[in-house]
A and B are shown apart, each in its own frame.
Chain A
Amino acid sequence: MNRPVLALLAALGVAAAISAPSAKADPPAAPADQMKLQGIWQLQGDHTAIKTTSGKLPPFRPAAKAKYEANLAARKAGHPDFDTAQKCLIPGLPRSMFYPQPFLLKVEPDQVSFLHELMHLHRMVYVGAKLPINDDLDQNWLGFSAGRWEKGDLIVQSRGFNDKTTIDTAGIPHSVDLMLTEKLHLVDKDTLEDTFTIDDPKTFTSTWQTKATFKRLPDDTEFSEYICTLANPEAVASK
């Protein structure tokens, strides 16, 4: 074996020693109080036309109020063209949380994931991640979600949304500046409450809150294959 090769191997050996990870143990599992949120959850009650926690309509700015009323009228007339979810598009947030299809909430130390039966959506919450400013995010359907734990509650902040979705089925609009904060709180071992704080100064005169409650289903509950486009492939094909 010639010297340059030996020297190279030696150098690589050193490089390998430097770049190799120190013998790391597996990352720890999530703490027990966080793991309590893991499970299969199903929405309780009808959330097609949501109200604030005080039972009122959200504090619309005038243009948003006009848009909301136009959306209500369009649905009443049987032509809810504003409703992209009818065209099998991802319903966005928080609306994806307002469907009766259950979701598996999977808790990992660095990630809490919503694996929905609805449209087989998956929405990841990155625990401990820094929430980028809106300008640094693509505008998409489910946005980007960063989470943190506070005394057993999961606080999730999401933004980076497009403005093609509505907040509920009825048709509460929002802008691309929507910032959604959720507090997921375990009321008891089988009851999960999500408090949504909606912050979108272009659409509303102040922030407002709404709540949803979810009941735990058995851990071996199986999801059906949810195919939106099967009923209406033209909804996709004609776009």
Chain B
Amino acid sequence: MAVSRAAKIAAALAVGLGILGTAAGAATLYRPEASSKDPRDLSGVWFLLRYNRIIPTVDGTPPPFTERGKLEWAKRIIAESQGAPMADASSYCWPHGTPRVMNSPYPLQIFQTPAETVIAHEVAHNTRYIHMQRGHPAQIKASFMGDSVGHWEGDTLVIDTLGVDPRTWIDEQGIIHSEKLHTVERIKKIQDGKAIEDVVTVEDPVFFTKPWTFRDTYAWRPDLRLTEYSCEENNRNAPQGGTTVAR
């Protein structure tokens, strides 16, 4: 047993080092091999580690849908299987929304000032502003990205978001939400600053019977720079009458 376990570790190490070797040898590194040692300094480029069109809960189960939630979800899955997917905000080149934009297979770059944490996404040049010096206003005007406010709890950045336009979805397949969506994200560094995790709790009494949680992780990518992504230039999937059309 001991030998086989050691062999497995060795193999894993070899794979890990192989990847590091490639990164260090072939690619240009624009920034150090790990992010800042300051746990509250998230600045730099990160890339979603496991892209999934379908967002499961942390337990791997579907979210706890209400009857309506289940119905709308099924409607979207059926429409897609029939080759006529229903359009969400991103299909129109509108911002992807929160939390959907955090689940895109494109790099993002985090910038921090005392007043704002800014997440610039390569995908469709989405940009999230997380206000660090205020709470939510009493009246929130809905927007695609919603009103995000952040604060630190120890080394965890906690982001609370309300006021997300319901034309955005939660995942790419068909989990949708109402104007009552409330998300709380808990972002912290893991793996000695070579990754971050975002644990997202989703609450929306219209579509879910209780709050549920999913988790995304992002790798530190010192070898990447954001490139230009112009959705508007050639939107091959521009919807017609609410249906995404492939061209």
Q: Which residues of A contact B (CB under 8 A)?
A: 1-2, 5, 8-9, 12, 15-16, 19, 21, 24-27, 38, 87-90, 104, 106, 108, 110, 113, 115, 119-122, 124, 126, 138, 140-142, 219-220, 222-223, 225, 227-230, 233, 235-239
Contact = CB atoms under 8 A, between A and B. Distances in A.
B24 A90 contact: no
Contact of A88 (B20, B37, B225, B232): B232
B120 to A, nearest CB: 4
B61 interface: no
B32 A9 contact: no
B17 A233 contact: no
B239 interface: yes
A219, A225, A227: most-surrounded residue (chain B CB, <10 A): A225
Q: Which 5 A-B pairs have the closest CB atoms?
A: A237-B238, A120-B127, A225-B143, A220-B115, A122-B120
Q: Which interface class (under 10, 10 to 19, 20 to 34, 35 or more) fits B? A: 35 or more
B94 interface: yes
B190 interface: no
Contacts of B228: 90, 138, 140-142
B145 A21 contact: no
Given A9-B10, A124-B226, 18 more contacts: A12-B14, A12-B17, A15-B21, A26-B41, A27-B31, A90-B125, A104-B113, A106-B111, A122-B127, A141-B233, A220-B133, A220-B134, A229-B93, A237-B92, A237-B235, A237-B240, A239-B234, A239-B238
B2 interface: yes
A108 B94 contact: no
A91 B114 CA distance: 30
A235 B102 CA distance: 27
A15 B2 CA distance: 23
A90 B124 CA distance: 11
Given A89-B232, A104-B118, A115-B118, A230 B31 contact: no
Given A104-B118, A236-B93, A222 B37 contact: no
Contacts of A120: 95, 125-127
Interface in B84-126: 92-95, 109, 111, 113-116, 118, 120, 125-126
